[in-house]
Structure 1
Amino acid sequence: MTTTIAEQLSTVSLYERLGASAGIRRIVDGMVDAHLENPVIRARFQPYLNDPERVEEIKRHICAFFEMRAGGPGPYRGRCMVEAHRGMNIAEAEYVAAVDDILGTMRALGHREEERAEVLAMLYGLKDEIIRV
């Protein structure tokens, strides 16, 4: 029995289709760069620019979380989304701006609409854990 390309892709995890750890790291690097340029949310990220070690730590946590949610092999040992965003009073407009940055980064990196749609669904599944005003 032969399988179609669509059937083969459906058995490959999102993690693998995003390029595994290296591909997710490229998304996270681009996302952080986009956040720093985005007038809606850049003020939240600019204070970290003077602490490159903290920026790297944040990126590692985001990568590990993203990998876990995308079906990657490693466990995530960081804080849950509620704890990670507690007290930040993130508005919906900020959340949407961050999501747009992530999807724009993925588009710029050449990720297909299917992967972007899966990531969008993943991100919107986290919305109520992040927006807590």
Structure 2
Amino acid sequence: MTKSLFERLGGNDGISAIVRRAINIHMENPDINARFLPYKDRPEYFETVVQHSINFFNSGSGGPAVYEGRDMETAHKGMNISPTEYMCAIDDIFIALDEHKIDDDTKKDVLAILWSLKGMIIAK
């Protein structure tokens, strides 16, 4: 039997570690960090955003978490995220996946999901 995406990403602990690392990489990335650095001044809100992101990836990969955040269009409305910024975010996620030694087939599945979300996020 084939493992679910959730299992291949390391379950609850793996997804949490990957998402937290990806967000830290976003904060270090000069191409997109302006969107993330203001969260440093609001640590409680920042942790809420991180937890929503973890739950989103967990739930979307077949895990048990329940995502209770806003839908992607509503969450990104007014942000006017460019295609370049979106690609930078994807690149950062892939750095985190590589650091966690996620295999290529699993990374392809993650990319397919991220690509499916782009129309809900870019230029909203």
Give the alignment's TM-score, normalised by structure 2.
Answer: 0.95
Correspondence 1:41 to 2:40: no
AA of the residue aligned to 2:46: V
Q: Secondary structure at the match of 1:76?
A: coil
Is the radius of gyration larger for structure 1 or structure 2? 1
AA of the residue aligned to 1:25: S
AA of the residue aligned to 2:120: E
Runs of at least 5 residues in structure 2 that lack an aligned partner in the other structure: none
Report the counterpart of residue 70 of structure 1 in structure 2.
Answer: 61
Q: Secondary structure at the match of 2:49?
A: helix
Give the alignment's TM-score, normalised by structure 1.
Answer: 0.89
Report the counterpart of residue 55 of structure 1 in structure 2.
Answer: 46
Query: CA–CA distance in 2 between the matches of 1:38 and 1:69?
Result: 25
Query: CA–CA distance in 1 between the matches of 2:77 and 2:107?
Result: 27
Compute the RMSD of aligned alpha carbons: 1.0
- What stretches of structure 1 move > 2 A for 4+ residues in a row? none
Runs of at least 5 residues in structure 1 that lack an aligned partner in the other structure: 1-7
Shift of 1:50: 1.5
Shift of 1:73: 1.9
1:115-130 mapped onto 2 (5 Å cutoff): 115-130=106-121
Shift of 1:74: 2.8
Cα displacement string for residues 22-55 of structure 1 (whole angstroms, at most 9, x for unaligned residues): 1111011110110011111000111111121111
Correspondence 1:89 to 2:80: yes
Query: CA–CA distance in 2 between the matches of 1:74 and 1:40?
Result: 31
